[in-house]
Chain A
Amino acid sequence: MAAAVRQGLSVSVATGLYGVSFGALSVVAGLDVLQTMALSLLLFSGGSQFALVGVVAAGGSPVAAVATASLLGVRNTLYGAVVSPLLQVRGWRRALAAHLTIDESTAVGVAQRDPAAVRAGFWTTGIGVFALWNAFVLLGALAGDRLGDPRAWGLDAAAAAAFLALVWPRLATRRARVVAALAVVVSAALVPVVPAGLPVLAAAAVAIVVGLVSRPAVPEEATR
């Protein structure tokens, strides 16, 4: 469980600092600081936020902006279905968990082995990213481009390494390795063709097909 918290905090820092980029970009796109913060606090999903300000910056229609942001948000529905049975929360806590359901909180949560660690990982990452992301969005919106590029600090590579470290222990079975390889190929092929956020959904669809057509657990998996 301590490991889940440490993982959550590392991911929160790597992701949260990226908020500077979003804040700066949003103000350049034509949103004011209040609108930028409302979007970041209320929508809270990096891919959808970048997509919405991208459409606004390009002079697109409000309908296109809402539709693009929503399309990219569809993967969060899948994330919610995966983490919800593991979190076991009801009422306002369920609504809060839904709001904090994003790539990072789901990734750290589901990568854990026992239920307590899943909850610790999900909540630490969700709350950590929410706090840092929004703080740095505000900083970026106020300071514009003067803070520099988070890529110079290697934060984009840190996020990639975090996801790799999370999937690493799950590649123990042959079936998992096959699904991971398929996911890599499908995602890499789709990145140039479809909007950001959809390659992840396509990879999930491949896993669903493999899961539904494959035979029940083979012995090496039955013990896990």
Chain B
Amino acid sequence: MTPGVLWTTVLLASVACFALKLAGHLVPEHWLADERVQRTSALVTVALLASLVVVQTVGDGQAVVLDARVPALAVAAVALALRAPFVVVVVLAAGAAAGLRALGWG
């Protein structure tokens, strides 16, 4: 792509993605006040977070890759079961993955 075409691509994609974000914020609030929508919204939150865990743990672009992230997530789960604070959970997982990779695995 020429610089001009690249700039156009960058700006058009930015406008489109901002419009998508704003559209969500402009959904009328009374649509969301219904009891069933509230309940569904709570479940959507759980599904989004669970899905992000999966994608971040085994996703690598458009492939499933099992590497040091998997045992690191297991370490995080144990820490959570032991009621460790959020920051400790995150640091332990990073340390586990970094340590395994330093040892040449994953």
- Answer yes or no: do A and B interact: yes
Chain A positions near chain B (C-beta within 8 angstroms): 3, 6-7, 10-11, 14, 30-32, 35, 38-39, 42-45, 48, 52, 56, 62, 65-66, 69-70, 73-74, 76-85, 94-95, 97-99, 101, 103, 106-107, 110-111, 151-168, 170-171, 175-176, 179-184, 186-188, 191-196, 199-200, 202-204, 206-208, 210-212, 214, 216-217
List 9 tightest A-B contacts by C-beta distance, closest first.
A80-B24, A211-B40, A161-B93, A154-B97, A157-B97, A203-B51, A207-B47, A157-B72, A154-B94
Which one, A69, A74, A204, A211, contacts B48 given CB within 8 A? A204
Using CB atoms, name the residue of chain A closest to B100: A154
Residues of B within 8 A of A98 (CB): 18, 21-22, 24-25
Inter-chain contact A107/B48, CB cutoff 8 Å = yes
CB within 8 Å of A: which residues of B? 1, 3, 5-14, 16-18, 20-27, 29, 32, 35-36, 39-59, 61-64, 68-69, 72-73, 75-77, 80, 86-87, 89-99, 101-102
Query: Do B101 and A35 have beta carbons less than 8 Å apart?
Result: no
With contacts A38-B14, A164-B73 taken as known, whether A176 is within 8 angstroms of B43 at the C-beta atoms is: yes
Enumerate chain A residues within 8 angstroms of B18, measured Cβ to Cβ. Answer: 42-43, 98-99
How distant is the Cα of A83 from the Cα of B44 in the complex, in angstroms? 12
| B80–A195 touching, CB < 8 Å | no
Do B51 and A166 touch across chains, with their CB atoms under 8 A apart? no
B59 with A196: CB separation less than 8 A: yes
List 21 interface pairs A-B (beta carbons < 8 Å), by A numbering: A31-B10, A44-B17, A52-B9, A52-B10, A65-B13, A66-B16, A107-B49, A110-B45, A152-B101, A153-B94, A154-B98, A157-B97, A161-B72, A161-B90, A164-B89, A167-B46, A184-B54, A187-B50, A188-B58, A188-B64, A200-B52
Do the beta carbons of B20 and A171 come within 8 Å of each other? no
Bound-complex Cα distance A216 to B38 (A): 11
A-B pair count, CB < 8 Å, reads: 305
A74 to B20, Cβ gap below 8 A? yes
| Measured CA separation A208–B91 after assembly (Å) | 33
* A154-B68 in contact given A80-B23, A196-B61 (Cβ < 8 Å): yes
- Chain A, Cβ-Cβ closest to B63: A192
Given known A81-B27, A107-B49, A208-B44, contact A73–B21 (CB-CB < 8 A): yes
A30 touches B57 (CB 8 A): no
Query: Complex formed: what's the CA distance from A184 to B5 in Å?
Result: 39
Decide: A85 and B29 in contact? CB cutoff 8 A: yes
Cβ A212 vs Cβ B94 within 8 A: no
B92 touches which of A74, A79, A161, A186 (Cβ 8 Å): A161
* A142 to B59 CA separation, bound complex (whole angstroms): 27
Q: Indicate whether A161 sits within 8 Å of B40 (C-beta atoms), given known contacts A62-B1, A196-B62.
A: no
State in angstroms the CA–CA spacing of A70 and B7 once bound together: 16
Q: Which of A3, A81, A186, A217 contacts B51 (CB 8 A)?
A: A186
Verify A65–B9 contact, CB threshold 8 A.
yes
Establish whether residues A199 and B51, one from each chain, have CB atoms under 8 Å apart when the complex forms. Answer: yes
Contacts of A73 in B (CB 8 A): 16-17, 20-21
